[in-house]
Amino acid sequence: GPSAGDKMPAPLLLAALLSPAALLPRAAAPAGNALPAQRRARLPSMAAGGAADAADDEKLAKALKAMTGFANSYCKNTGTTYCSDPSIPAVVIKGLAEHKVVLGAPLCPCRHYEDKAAEAKDGYWNCPCVPMRERHECHCMLFLTEENEFAGDSQKLSVEEVVSHTESMGSVL
């Protein structure tokens, strides 16, 4: 894998967070609409409409508030900060919240999994993941140490900031 010294430019990182398949070789990328169809099947609000939409929106809003609060506390408790580009942590927090709703656990949204449910149950990649807890290494660039060139000064994002940075992107699932 990449060494600790490998750096991904922030715009490329953001593109990877928004569309991880964009970084895969063409042969490995899902064909046509296969991936979105799989995602729709797992999200009742996207298929059922009506009351399911409202219930899922409420669950996501609650999870987004919880994950934003968790991330803010974790930054403070570990002495880490968010990226200087607030859209980076916003995208990650939204992905964590969506995974919390769909999988029941805040599975890291920045990795590819063959079986997300199994990975969420295993817990290794649930935020904070084992590499973050053990070595302060956050693959997502959510929690940055001061020596990271992309580290900003902020340890706090509001739910409103997370929403404003992610509302036009749709689901990261």
Residues identified as active-site: 110
Looking at the chain, list the stretches that DSSP marks H as alpha helix, in order from N- to C-terminal side.
10-18, 34-42, 44-48, 51-78, 87-103, 116-122, 130-135, 159-166
- Sole residue written with tokens 């809003």: 61
| Cα 145 from Cα 147, distance rounded (Å) | 6
Rounded to 5°, angle at Cα 38 from 35 and 43 = 125
Sign of CA dihedral 98, 101, 110, 143: positive
